[in-house]
Chain A
Amino acid sequence: GESVGLHLPTLSVQEGDNSIINCAYSNSASDYFIWYKQESGKGPQFIIDIRSNMDKRQGQRVTVLLNKTVKHLSLQIAATQPGDSAVYFCAENKLRGGSNYKLTFGKGTLLTVNP
């Protein structure tokens, strides 16, 4: 069935190192992918997105890579800081008939940054 999942449930890195969070998806018809950061007790915060006609997109300290061949998505965080500690979700935005989009979240990866 359709799903968006993550390879690693937890990731621990040292401050200053680069972090890579991975995500697999199964629906090749998906056209839009988003990474969210969720801190404890808060709602998800938008980080970066990428459309299916792209394979790379860069933001401030973050890069998202999309490999449609193997249906894989990754989020790279450069020079990880303690404030980056949170749960990171990939989400898949699928066209569900007409103009209705359904956002499907992956399981989440807990990133812990050690000072």
Chain B
Amino acid sequence: GAVVSQHPSWVICKSGTSVKIECRSLDFQATTMFWYRQFPKQSLMLMATSNEGSKATYEQGVEKDKFLINHASLTLSTLTVTSAHPEDSSFYICSAPPSGVGQPQHFGDGTRLSIL
């Protein structure tokens, strides 16, 4: 149980295009979801907290107009990388706490984004 699914798992696109990544909680509802970015051989860095019914909370240094987050329902959050450039290439991972905030977060299997 408590599965978090991400789609797509891998995407390659040209510089300047926008890419949407979906994060779904398959068997539980999540009023809060989290988006992380991970560069090769580095740790996960929290980008933003996605809140159902309200605006996302972005970490310092993360451009909210660059990384658009929409928490459309209690089981879906999307991250859109707008006008993507090669430096946006990374591994993007979402998570959600099945039992509420303060409980172990369950992670999706990530989306490998490559911008040419």
Binding site for B on A (CB under 8 A): 32, 34, 36, 41-46, 49, 89, 93, 95, 99-108
Say if the beta carbon of B67 comes within 8 Å of chain A: no
When the two chains form their complex, are residues B107 and A43 in contact, meaning their CB atoms are under 8 A apart?
yes
Binding site for A on B (CB under 8 A): 4, 6, 32, 34, 42-46, 49, 57, 93, 95, 97, 101-102, 104-110, 112
Residue of A43, A99, A106 near B109 (CB, 8 A) is A43
When the two chains form their complex, are residues B93 and A43 in contact, meaning their CB atoms are under 8 A apart?
yes
Measured between alpha carbons, how far is A32 from B105 in the docked complex, in Å? 12
Measured between alpha carbons, how far is A107 from B43 in the docked complex, in Å? 5
When the two chains form their complex, are residues B49 and A45 in contact, meaning their CB atoms are under 8 A apart?
no
Residues of A within 8 A of B4 (CB): 43
When the two chains form their complex, are residues B105 and A103 in contact, meaning their CB atoms are under 8 A apart?
yes
| Further contacts, 10 of them, CB under 8 A, given A43-B107, A100-B57, A103-B95 | A43-B109, A45-B107, A46-B105, A89-B44, A93-B102, A99-B101, A101-B102, A103-B105, A104-B46, A108-B43
Residue of B6, B34, B112 near A103 (CB, 8 A) is B34
